[in-house]
Chains A and B, each alone.
Chain A
Amino acid sequence: MNLNEVERAMLAGEFGRAAQAAIEHQVKVGDFFAAADFVPVTQAHLMADTESLGEAGVRWLESLCEQEPGARVRVPTITDPRGTDFAKASLLRQPTFALDLERRAIDAFRRLGVLLTDTCINYQTIQAPAHGEHVAFGDTGVVIYANSVCGARSNYEGGPSALAAGLTGRTPRYGYHLPAMRRATVRMRVECKPESLNDWGALGGVVGRLAGHYWAVPYLEGLDGVPGSDALKHFGAAMASFGSIALYHLDGITPEAGHADGARLPLSHTIGEAEVKALQGAYASEKDVDVVVFSAPQLSLYELRELAALCDGRRFSRPLLAVTSPQVKPDADRFGLTRKIEDAGGHVLSGMCFYQSYAREIAEANGWKRLATNSAKLVNILGGYGYVPLLASMERCVEAAEKGHL
């Protein structure tokens, strides 16, 4: 990689040991992808739940702080959901070691100047990036939304790389930081009309599976009308989850679709209601339900408003967990949404995400196996954690929490 004067100084340790370690890591990643140089970033978003870090990752963070006690991030660096909501940890029966690790990680991030926003919907709650803005975002759902809906430029930045970007203020220029890589590579036609968030997520999952890998950029025609932010949130999060996709274009809707050259491509796939229903049907193997979860991504205020209305007047026989961000939760409290959900027997959790919160351990502790959700992303993840995930609309999931079955 070609390094400028500042970057060479960082590499030589003149900006401190933390920045040096960060740029050493970034140069190796940049060399792997043949990046020509670095690009400055305005903000970083850092995925760092301690189920992922483990003892080794937390110890590494602590050692970073100990080696250079004054080390701080150089650009605003915010966090993805943590591995718990401390106020609800006993409800989830999370193990003590997990909470101890979380506390240690939080302390290390604070020492590094990281802002613990604990959200995977920062584009709805903190600051959406502008068209053309180079950022270093973690959480695949955040990256695909920022690239596709906002027109920002980011690769998937895993936790160590996002933190490195925060510490150096830059990231290797490869992948979706390069205009040529943002052109469409596969053209698809949609011949169905998704309605619920579950439908949008399932459609995203179908597109992700068909596109199949990180470097594929789907170009979709045929969508009728402009989806809202929550629909695109579920759509993109599922596409990223099922296919490792980081950028898509919607003809006539997303900001770069007109420049993506998608119409020049041969039509590769047509997606109708049958394909969407087939994906949904693959997650309908059981009727009985042990737990209902709304998470992945965290719920917006509007989703909580809808959920609260559905909960009003019900009495749940199964746990219902609704997970949101620390930015949305106070508003949900102020507007009485939390109370409506919790009066029915549900729980509103904040600052975590279900699958990032020791999902295997809490399943064993609570006897949860059959999990109903409206999140296509969540059902794609949880099979590996031993759950039988069931995908249904928000309305049917709420009914299942009341009746015990779908």
Chain B
Amino acid sequence: MKTDALIARLAESPVPVEPLRRPWIRTAGWLAVSLVYVALVVAVMTARDDLLSVTGTARFWVEQSAALATAVLAAFAAFCSCVPGMDRRLLALPVLPLGVWLTSAGGDCLAKLIQEGPSSIVFAEDWLCLPAIAIVGAGPALLMVRMLRCGAPLSPALTMALGGLAAGGLGSFGLRLFHSEEASLMVLVWQIGSVVLFALLTGWLGRHAISWKRLIRQSHAAARFS
């Protein structure tokens, strides 16, 4: 097909489109809906008995703030990653709170090891974390995928991994409100580990969830029904 003929076909009856809102507005919208979902899950699961006492510790606040900031900045980066022409350095934003989160849990673990010896480090299997984070993160993850599918699939794996990190971060934030687990090694391995695993898994699925092929097919279908 000649390019002029293609242009004529594309412009024949263009469906009006509403420009996507800016990434920070989309992030705010995603966060608002997701927090309602997380609150509902926490309410159903019932908040942990020792919630009041743990809220008195600085570590709880640092790690919860870092988890929430990781979720927010990863969501923002994911939305930026599907807007052509955005500064790619923005995609590194979640590294900072993720670093704080890891440092807090890892630092506490290391400090205990130095001060009290290896016997002070508690490690046990806690497979509940993985499905629990998946349940709390499922709502935010589904909403995230739906929102990301409206953007340009410039780097599907990275976009989806960032989206998974956002949903997983929020999942971990919610989990800590009903799951009593404060041992730093446990938090590091089971909670942060689950979030990272969730992000890697969604990144791996990226090409299937968002792709040029699907988007182009969708836009042709929309044109046919206009």
A binds B: no
